[in-house]
Amino acid sequence: MKNTLHVEVLLKTEKAVDISELEESINLELKKIKPIIPESTHTTFITDGLADCIKSIQICEVENLQEDDNHERMINYELPEGKSLDLDAYTVQIYFYKLDDSGLVDDDTTDESTCKMRRCILPNVDFCGIWDSLVYQEPVKEILLNYAQTGMNFARHNVNTNIISYNRLILLHGLPGTGKTSICKALAQKLSIRLSKQYSFFEFIEINSHNLLSKYFSESGSLVMSMFQQIKNVLEYGDSLVFILIDEVESLTRARDAVLSGTEPSDSIRVVNAVLTQLDNLRKYPNVIFLTTSNVTEAIDSAFTDRADIKMLINPPQEMAIYTILKAAIEELIKVGLIINVEKNDKFDRLPNSNAEEIEDKSTTQKLYEISKESVGLSGRVLKKITFIAHSIFIRKPQCDGVHQFLCALQKAIKYQKTQDAGINKVK
């Protein structure tokens, strides 16, 4: 069996196209650029011959079906150094999609007292690029994508949930700023592209769990019931796939033993019971995936965590993931002209096998890797803006003169940020 090369094609919304003819044309274009060098994977391009109807063609990843020593399915995003990708050796899977530009909007189908959600159509312009921007040390994205696709495959084949239990419920937990909410949105976007042949349309619903909690006794449970009724109405359209995001799910699923011990409001138990009951009722709908996040899993009722098919800890990024994040940020600044006078030897190469600390004349790659190791402990959210901090505080002019000057500023910004974070924690 051939391995698979995934290619996503963004269409222009104003153009009507014949997909079968377009797919044939794209395959021909891909043949023209083979062999694909490693740097070309996971990148976007467009050719003159298809520019009238296509915004971009993205070569996303190579799916390797070989097994490792643990007999696990592997997905490789990088090819061995010096190797190229021969398209004849792969099955090319092409996905066509258009972006909806409406964005997340408040649901207005009921009055304000019962409507506590925002909705949008997928794929959506607001979620574009999130998937590629998320970098983890572990194969978080690959595992979640495989899980979700398997869950929907089981649902489409009407696998009996009384024999094989699967709730299509994901729980991501970990420290704040690790990208839990972002990857939920990115996963929904990715699936709306990959499963476009199975469903007519896709919808994303974001629930504000805090707004479902009322100061009036017993009203919170009623608000939860009303919200799930709204979701049920959406799911009645069986040709759609609906993603439900519940951020900080612990707000709605407080451990009931804490309620009984008197450490939580007694009304909380009504909310937990309502959520669990409604989740069980929605299992019969094959066209829904629940995405939930939590910063404090110890506060969640065990009956909820038991219902989650996959419970994944999202760790703060380590040096290799940090290196990738910072490298992408610096390359973006070079691309837009905010870092100028870039020399040929300033490019970021693959990390050498030798220890960077043992080399006196460090390359650009080695210096950035050294900075990445110093950055361990910062959240992904902070790392995404650390290059902005470096430019604003330690460059203080419109353009930075050279990559090495920016790396010096970045190193200072890392130390500055850690000092600021330590000061905040000390106050706490």
Structure tokens at 253: 């699923």
**What's the CA gap between 401 and 252, in Å, rounded?**
51
Do 367 and 163 touch, CB atoms closer than 8 A?
no
In 3D, which of 155, 140, 235, 237 has the Cα closest to residue 186?
Answer: 140
Question: Are 270 and 220 contacting, i.e. CB atoms less than 8 angstroms apart?
Answer: yes
Percent of the chain surpassing pLDDT 70: 80
* pLDDT score at 266: 58
Q: Do 353 and 369 form a contact (C-beta atoms < 8 A)? A: no
Q: What's the burial of 146, exposed, middle or buried (CB within 10 Å: 0-12/13-18/19+)?
A: middle
State how far the alpha carbon of 89 is from the alpha carbons of 25, 35, 38, 60, in Å.
19, 11, 15, 17
Predicted pLDDT at 87: 72
**pLDDT grade for 60, boundaries at 50, 70 and 90:** confident
- Name the residue with higher pLDDT: 138 or 188: 188
The answer to whether 207 and 116 have CB atoms below 8 angstroms apart is yes
- pLDDT at residue 348, as a whole number: 82
Domain locations along the chain: 3-97, 105-313, 319-426
- The dotted CATH code for 105-313 is 3.40.50.300
Q: Which amino acid is at 14?
A: E
Contact (Cβ atoms closer than 8 angstroms) between residue 188 and residue 121:
no
Q: How far apart are the first and last CA of the chain?
A: 57
Q: Which two tokens stand for residue 90?
A: 């792969």
Q: Which amino acid is at 229?
A: Q
- pTM for the full predicted model: 0.86
Q: What is the pLDDT of residues 149-186, one digit of tens each?
A: 999 999 989 999 889 988 999 999 999 989 999 999 99
Which distant-in-sequence residues (6+ apart) come within 8 Å of 15 by Cβ? 52, 53
Greatest mean pLDDT among 74-83, 89-98, 228-237, 307-316 lies in 307-316
Lowest mean pLDDT among 68-82, 100-114, 322-336: 68-82
The shares of helix, strand and coil residues in the chain, as percent rounded to the nearest 5, are 45, 20, 35
